[in-house]
Amino acid sequence: MNEKFSKLGFYPSDILLPKKDVDMSKWAVVACDQFTSEPEYWERVEKTVGDAPSTLRLILPEANLKAPNVDEFIADINASMDKYLKENIFETLKDSLIYIERGQSDGKIRHGLIGMVDLDQYDFTPGSGALIRATEGTVLDRIPPRARVRRNAPIELPHVMLLIDDPDKTVIEPLTAAADGMEMVYDFDLMENGGHIKGYKLSAAQIDAVADALTGLTSNEAMKSKYGVSGVAPLLFAVGDGNHSLATAKSCYEELKKNNPGVDLSNHPARYALVELENIHDPAQAFEPIHRVIFKTEPKKLLAALEEACAGAEGFPVKWYAGEESGTIVLDKNKGELAVGILQHFLDEYLKNNPGEIDYIHDDDALIGFAKQENAIGFLLPAMEKSQLFRGVIADGVLPRKTFSMGHSREKRYYLEGRKIK
């Protein structure tokens, strides 16, 4: 293992990719936590994939997380992983980093870097001083059902995206200029209008350069320059997407250690998790709002309670929709720093004692459409500024749950690369 990365919590990895005879357009599938209220999306994906090798057989779409036969789904996933390994459909890129160019629907290209993080240097506890930190509060009861999928899985597939705050563009961006001379490992269109993706394997010299650049981001001078603080634990990686997936990997690793007292697991593959790094300063990386829709509730009662608890003369205007009605409520700025935090705190408390099921929606039109359903109300939230992320995590520990989305649903990570965890 490259020792230059030992104090960074991020390393090159043995990365699994399908061999060249696999149809990559059917192999790669969008993150499992997308389109949870649109089962027709996953039905289309099922038809597209058919009998071809696909990550669809290796993940559990969260639309199925509460299905009565979820245990069968999980058993099938683990069986498919074993089958793909036995059929030798993977090739292994040893001790590698992969540079990614993701073409989006808006024509912009987003840049990333695939490697693995050390779960011993990650902590989702609010206020943690770990190098790798959660950006939102972790809902602990969301971990067990996800752990059931990972616990017996021989491989992992990442949709976790970590952000670095690299205003001088020292880590990923030098690879963009060098891409023409790098070894290309994949180049194809993603299904369901997900855009285009290219992957390039880094050379040994490029891997060393990445380590040096990341080390520079952890210096006291860098922390003081960017955040006006010094002498505090550096924040190198903030989880931009997949908070609960990474928390699940951490929980499974801790469970493994607990069940094997006295056993040295320092080199166990479950200690690490495959992720994609992106620079928060990438012009193609947009923070999109995540809207709220509440189903099976009494919209007028909920809205009246929200008015009473959170409305103010000055603050954050939030548009609401219920059936054919709509309006705007101004959330009191004295209740919190962000509109999403005020609303989420209210909903968490309200739904403890009142009927309703909340879902998180990325698309404006989809939110309005869902809100037209009977006994539903939707809230259209503003986007958070990217500059608030690292400062907010350093100052406050975590941001409110589902504060932002890194791009639209179709621009989320697609499952593509894998790694053995057993």
Mean pLDDT across 28-48: 92
Domain boundaries of the chain, sorted by first residue = 3-287+407-420, 291-380
CB 333 within 8 A of CB 312: yes
| 268 has pLDDT over 80 | yes
Whole-number pLDDT of residue 383: 85
Neighbours of 101 (CB within 10 A): 18
Q: What number of other Cβ atoms are within 10 A of residue 254's Cβ? A: 13
Q: What is the CA radius of gyration of the chain?
A: 22
Residue 62's pLDDT is 83
Confidence at residue 397, expressed as pLDDT on a 0 to 100 scale: 75
pLDDT beyond 90 at 22 = yes
> Is residue 338 a contact partner of residue 392, using CB atoms and an 8 Å limit?
no
**Average pLDDT of span 228-248:** 87
Alpha carbon of 155 to those of 98, 159, 249: distances in Å? 18, 13, 12
The average pLDDT across 390-411 equals 79
In angstroms, rounded to a whole number, what is the distance separating the alpha carbons of residues 150 and 59?
A: 10
Give the rounded percent of residues in the chain with a pLDDT score beyond 90: 69
Q: Whole-angstrom Cα distance, residue 90 to residue 85?
A: 7
d(CA 396, CA 346): 19
Specify the pLDDT at position 202: 98
Q: Among 263, 260, 331, which residue's Cα sits nearest to residue 292?
A: 331
First and final C-alpha spacing in the chain: 18
Question: Using one digit for the tens of pLDDT, what is the confidence trace for 163-220?
Answer: 999 999 999 999 999 999 999 999 999 999 999 999 999 999 999 999 999 999 998 8
Tell me the two tokens of residue 404.
């932002």
Question: 224 pLDDT band (50/70/90 cuts)?
Answer: confident
Give the three-state DSSP class for 142: helix
Q: What sign does the dihedral 128-244-237-97 (CA atoms) show?
A: positive
| Closest alpha carbon to 348 in 147, 145, 137, 146 | 137
pLDDT of amino acid 83: 97
| DSSP, res 276 | E
Place 361 in a pLDDT band, splitting at 50, 70 and 90: very high
Which 8-state DSSP code applies to residue 311? B
Burial 364-394 (b: 16+ CB within 10 A, else e): eebbbbbbeeeebbbbbbeebebebbbbbbb
Contact present, 318 and 329 (Cβ < 8 Å): yes
Confidence of residue 153 (pLDDT cuts 50, 70, 90): very high
Q: Can you read off the two tokens belonging to residue 245?
A: 């997936």
- Residues of the chain with pLDDT > 70, as a percent, come to 100
Question: What pLDDT digit, counting tens, does each position of 41-87 carry?
Answer: 999 999 999 999 999 999 998 888 777 888 898 999 999 999 999 99
Q: Does the pLDDT at position 139 exceed 80?
A: no
Give φ, ψ of 362 to 5 degrees. -95, -30
Burial of 323-333, coded b for 16+ CB within 10 Å and e otherwise, reads: eeeeeebbbee
pLDDT of residue 233: 82
Q: Going along 119-265, which residue ranges are E strands?
A: 122-123, 132-133, 155-156, 161-164, 183-189, 196-201, 237-241
Q: What is the predicted pLDDT for the residue at 410?
A: 85
Judge whether residue 294 has pLDDT over 90: yes
pTM across the whole model: 0.83
Task: Please report which confidence band the pLDDT of residue 330 belongs to, taking 50, 70 and 90 as the band edges.
Answer: very high
Mean pLDDT value across the chain? 92
DSSP H/E element including 92: strand 90-96
Query: What average pLDDT score do residues 276-305 get?
Result: 94
Query: Is the separation of the CB atoms in 421 and 39 below 8 Å?
Result: no
Whether the predicted pLDDT of 262 surpasses 80: yes
The answer on pLDDT for 301 being more than 90 is yes
Q: Are 417 and 16 in contact (CB under 8 A)?
A: yes
Residue 37: predicted pLDDT? 82
What's the rounded mean pLDDT across residues 349-366?
94
